[in-house]
């Protein structure tokens, strides 16, 4: 059975960090909406140039554009054994579209993790990351905007997935290793 994993959580919760580990441990591709967009920006494609300002402000890219990007990515043959999805869906419209994308390729989520951390911790982590990495949206203003949008648009998806089953809440304000150990023990329960 393919292992299809979704990571939900606010900015700085560790979605990218933990998805990278799941991807290498279980040998499934890490599909990260933000990484796809940053690669387009770095390559200077039309798409990258179109989204640059939106991302820099910490706003959301349009649902239509994101849905088509993720649809195309999940239809690639390297997802046959499964995938770990990070950064999508972020709105109810995206979640509903994802349901139809997945049923179109005969899939459903094996597990949906909700990584939870307080906003203060998110802020602290992203400020630290801003000193180490070059991410245009790790400014105080854009971090606040992203967190506000998370609470308004994305947090309701926790309830969306809870009512559909397979939601596993994870306390994210612990060391990377402790969080990963908990994810792994939940992944061991997934029927093979």
For residue 135, state whether it binds Mg ion (rule: CB under 5 A): no
For residue 30, state whether it binds ligand AP5 (rule: CB under 6 A): no
Shorter beta-carbon distance to ligand AP5: residue 73 or 90: 90
Q: With H, G, I as helix, E, B as strand and everything else as coil, classify residue 159.
A: helix
Among 88, 109, 113, 161, binds ligand AP5 (CB under 6 A): 88
Q: Is 146 one of the annotated active-site residues of the chain?
A: yes
Q: Which residues contact 51 (CB under 8 A, 6 or more apart)?
A: 37, 40, 41, 61, 65
Give the closest residue to 153 by CA, choosing from 70, 93, 106. 93
DSSP 150: I
Among 8, 12, 113, 161, binds ligand AP5 (CB under 6 A): 12
For residue 14, state whether it binds ligand AP5 (rule: CB under 6 A): yes
Select which of 50, 129, 145, 166 is catalytic: 129
**Least distance between ligand AP5 and beta carbon 97 (Å):** 10
Chain centre distance of CA 153: 14
Q: Is 15 one of the annotated active-site residues of the chain?
A: yes
**Contact by Cβ (8 Å): 94, 88:** yes
Sheet holding 111-116, edge to edge: 30-32, 82-86, 3-8, 111-116, 167-171
Q: Is 129 one of the annotated active-site residues of the chain?
A: yes
In the range 154-183, which residues lie near ligand AP5 by CB under 6 A? 174-176, 179
Whose tokens are 């999940």? That residue is 74
- For 104-142, the DSSP string reads HTT---SEEEEEE--HHHHHHHHHHHHHHS--TT-SHHH
Using CB under 6 A, count the residues that bind ligand AP5: 31
**Least distance between ligand AP5 and beta carbon 3 (Å):** 20
For residue 16, state whether it binds Mg ion (rule: CB under 5 A): yes
Q: What is the Cα–Cα distance from 102 to 89, expressed in whole angstroms?
A: 12
Q: Is 90 one of the annotated active-site residues of the chain?
A: yes
x/- letters, 117..156, toward ligand AP5 (CB under 6 A): --------xx--x-------x--------x----------
Would you name the residues annotated as active-site residues? 15, 90, 129, 135, 146
What are the residues binding ligand AP5 (CB under 6 A)? 9, 11-17, 33-34, 37, 54-55, 58-61, 66, 87-88, 90, 94, 125-126, 129, 137, 146, 174-176, 179
């Amino acid at each position: 059975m393919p292992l299809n994993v979704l990571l939900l959580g606010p900015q700085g919760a560790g979605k990218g960090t933990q998805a990278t580990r799941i991807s290498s441990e279980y040998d499934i591709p890490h599909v990260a909406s933000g990484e796809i967009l940053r690669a387009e920006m770095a390559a200077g494609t039309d798409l990258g140039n179109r989204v640059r300002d939106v991302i820099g402000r910490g706003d959301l890219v349009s649902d239509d554009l994101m849905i088509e990007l993720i649809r195309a990515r999940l239809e690639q043959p390297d997802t046959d054994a499964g995938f770990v999805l990070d950064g999508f869906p972020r709105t109810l419209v995206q979640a509903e579209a994802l349901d139809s994308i997945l049923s179109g390729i005969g899939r459903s989520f094996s597990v949906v993790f909700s990584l939870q951390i307080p906003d203060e911790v998110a802020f602290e982590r992203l400020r630290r990351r801003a000193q180490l990495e070059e991410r245009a949206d790790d400014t105080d203003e854009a971090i606040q905007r992203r967190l506000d949008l998370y609470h308004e648009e994305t947090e309701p998806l926790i309830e969306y997935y809870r009512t559909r089953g397979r939601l596993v809440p994870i306390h994210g304000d612990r060391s990377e290793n402790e969080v990963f150990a908990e994810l792994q023990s939940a992944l061991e329960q997934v029927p093979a």
